[in-house]
Structure 1
Amino acid sequence: MGTVNEKFSKEEITLTEFILKIVDWIKYLGSYWYVLLSLGIVGACCGYFYSKTKHVSYLATTTFVLETSENSGVGLSQYAGLASMVGLDLGGAGGGIFQGDNIIELYKSRKMIEAALLLPCKADSNKLLIDRFLANEKDMESWRGKDPAIKDRFRDSILMESVSRINQKYLNVAKPDKKLSIIKVDVTFGDEILAKEFNEGLVKEVNEFYIKTKLKKSLNNIAILEHKTDSVKKILNGSITSIAAIIDATPNLNPTRQAQRLVPSQKSQFSVEANKAILEHLIQNLELAKLNLLKESPLIQVVDIPIYPLQSFKVSKLSYILFSFIFFVFFGIFYFFLKRIIVDA
């Protein structure tokens, strides 16, 4: 019994000492209440003035579905050998740079962002979108100098820095669901017009680049086929004309001299039949190439576009004030806590 009571007594003393230490620390810190309160007031003021520098941010969002044309070549493979005879490739539209997550990197590329920044502003035709961007970035606005137009010698530096900032702070391109082919493009600026027009401009530039690159092979095939078709038509028309000319040249030919008409006429007739067969195959391949072109378009299906008014975001001044107040007070408590430990040591 004595041992149990003694153990209980020691635990009770330990708990008591712990409570006394807490009370002692509270009294110690309480003796500096005016300092902690002053720090809190300073922090609140800093939070208030900082909140004055924070402007409303506007979010412009475009959502689109990326079509994967993996099966676009189905049904055309049977004609691949025939098409290859005239130097064409009617293979399916493989994905290339537009499959998977590569298109996301395309949206973040310098080429696409620069092209979007250099588009004219719809709200003010006298300015480019980069002018509004530089006005939004106060530290970069002076780069333009007194002339509102972008100076040539600063052009590359301005564009490079603008692309870097947009990628780091203002642009977000991602797939909300990895299992789906939906891609979301978010642009956030303090300028509502800039947010909307840059978002639309960037999507437009990527779409045009996508179409131009994706359809380049098919358009080249069509151009080759049309050129060869026109050439064969000219040769065929020439052969038909030759037959008529031979007949006209020997209107009353002696039956014993038929070779003068028959041999040239048969040569031209053979040329007509051969070119007619070639022309049929060329026209068939031309229609197949046009069908392949149709199957590859459209390539991007836009689902949602940004519309006014855009969604806006702004942290309230009260939140900045409370956070700064608590942070400064906590910093003061930590200082006095560390100071007493050092003194006691």
Structure 2
Amino acid sequence: MDKIAEPSEVSLKEIVTKVKKGLTYLISRWKPIVAFGIVGAALGLTYAIIKKPTYKAVCTFVLEDGSKSGGLGQYAGLASLAGIDLGSSGGGGIFKGDNIIELYKSRLMLEKTLLSEVTIAGKKQLLIDRYIEFNQLRKVWKQKDHIDTISFRGATDKFTRSQDSIISTIVEVFNKKLLTVDKLDKKLSIIVVQVESEDELFAQSFNLKLVETVNNFYSVTKTKKSDQNVTVLQRQADSVKAVLNNSINGVASAIDANPNANPQLLILKAPSQRKQVDVQASTAIYAEIVKNLELSKISLRQDVPLIQIIDEPVLPLLKTKVGKLKGIILGGLLGAFLSSTFLLTRKIFDKILS
């Protein structure tokens, strides 16, 4: 039985020899490589001149959830007997972990921010209109779709298909290129929101408005359940208090009706005694509701998350621009590399086909 031939191993000497041959070949073709390098340098210079600078607006803030502490836990069991949910589990719900970061990238938050009206350079305008303006999108729409007069004011639920499509496209651009949201450190609760744009004032305004919009939505949603408990209990307390006041007035009216009732006629005392029973029952109920109301208010205060801005984007923003010298060097190196790769590849194919 014949042995299977093992593939020959390439020695280090052969590799060095092939590399030397390749370098020798490239040196012999230095003229086209230099020519492509010059072309690349020219293109790099052109790019550096034409390319507009970008500005980065960075905002950092610390987030601390209003999770339940042990102090409230001792009351949670008592409150649950009365049908009051104080949320003693302390879970973060939909905002647990890094979900707050994904909230920043959601269409809902970006759309609300884009449709917000801000004052930029003394002029009130929607952020989406500012974005469309400095990107000159209306010129493109006029030539292509004839929708250059489209407006984004009004109720979002009445937007047309074209309006929704434009917003979706802009949101996608933000998530892919312009918006970065991350934690400063995985062990810390410091979140960094960065917006990059060719318009410095837009980058600053959008960053500030996005942080405000998301953090307000976060706080309202986080405390919604506790707020509903407080509202229900407050309504019950007001209702029972009204009944209690009526019962107290009823006792007084019953006594006034028979101020000097004959002790022998007990039936004359029955109306006032019935009203007194109503007063005692209403007082007990009112006291219990007020106690649960105060516990729910404590729960609501503890649910409110602490959001403290550390750094806001201030003008002038961090500017990023490709310098002319950098463009020339990078363009020249890229042109020389691509031409060298092309020449070596063509030589290898010629050798294989020969």
TM-score normalized with structure 2 length: 0.83
State the partner residue of 1:83. 79
C-alpha distance in 2, partners of 1:287/1:276?
16
Contact kept in structure 2, 1:69 and 1:94, CA below 8 Å: no
C-alpha distance in 2, partners of 1:338/1:79?
77
C-alpha distance in 2, partners of 1:24/1:267?
111
Contiguous gaps of at least 5 residues in structure 1: 1-13
- How far did 1:343 drift? 4.8
C-alpha distance in 2, partners of 1:182/1:84?
35
The residue type paired with residue 325 of structure 2 is L
Contact kept in structure 1, 2:204 and 2:313, CA below 8 Å: yes
- How far did 1:242 drift? 1.1
State the partner residue of 1:204. 212
Q: Deviations over 1:195-251 (max 9, x none)?
A: 111111111111111111111111111111111111111111111111111111123
Higher mean C-alpha deviation, range 197-206 or range 86-95:
86-95
- How far did 1:302 drift? 1.9
**Partner of 2:232: helix, strand, or coil?**
helix
Superposed, which structure 2 residues align to 1:301-316 within 5 Å? 301-316=308-323
Contiguous gaps of at least 5 residues in structure 2: 1-12, 154-158
**Partner of 1:75: helix, strand, or coil?**
helix
Aligned partner (choices 177, 194, 201) of residue 186 of structure 1: 194
Higher mean C-alpha deviation, range 317-326 or range 167-176:
317-326
Aligned partner (choices 54, 59, 65) of residue 56 of structure 2: 59
C-alpha distance in 2, partners of 1:342/1:247?
116
C-alpha distance in 2, partners of 1:24/1:112?
56
Aligned partner (choices 272, 277, 299) of residue 270 of structure 1: 277
Change in 2 beyond 3 A, CA 1:211/1:24: closer
- How far did 1:172 drift? 0.8
Overall identity of the aligned pairs, in % = 43
State the partner residue of 2:184. 176
State the partner residue of 1:35. 32
Q: Deviations over 1:11-58 (max 9, x none)?
A: xxx99x959x958964x5555444333222221221122222321111
Superposed, which structure 2 residues align to 1:157-176 within 5 Å? 157-176=165-184
Change in 2 beyond 3 A, CA 1:132/1:342: same
**Partner of 1:63: helix, strand, or coil?**
strand
Aligned partner (choices 327, 346, 352) of residue 320 of structure 1: 327
The residue type paired with residue 312 of structure 1 is K
C-alpha distance in 1, partners of 2:214/2:208?
10
Contact kept in structure 1, 2:240 and 2:286, CA below 8 Å: yes
Give aligned pairs, total: 327
The residue type paired with residue 264 of structure 1 is P
Contact kept in structure 2, 1:62 and 1:185, CA below 8 Å: yes
Aligned partner (choices 101, 104, 118) of residue 101 of structure 2: 104
Aligned partner (choices 132, 135, 139) of residue 134 of structure 1: 132
Change in 2 beyond 3 A, CA 1:58/1:258: same
**Partner of 1:180: helix, strand, or coil?**
coil
Change in 2 beyond 3 A, CA 1:39/1:24: closer
- How far did 1:187 drift? 0.9
The residue type paired with residue 137 of structure 1 is N
Higher mean C-alpha deviation, range 321-330 or range 218-227:
321-330
C-alpha distance in 1, partners of 2:239/2:23?
99
Aligned partner (choices 128, 146, 149) of residue 147 of structure 1: 149
Aligned partner (choices 46, 49, 62) of residue 49 of structure 1: 46
- How far did 1:173 drift? 0.8
Contact kept in structure 2, 1:73 and 1:91, CA below 8 Å: no
Contact kept in structure 1, 2:63 and 2:305, CA below 8 Å: no
**Partner of 1:132: helix, strand, or coil?**
helix
- How far did 1:181 drift? 1.5
Contact kept in structure 1, 2:66 and 2:305, CA below 8 Å: no
C-alpha distance in 1, partners of 2:26/2:310?
59
The residue type paired with residue 53 of structure 2 is V
Contact kept in structure 2, 1:40 and 1:329, CA below 8 Å: yes
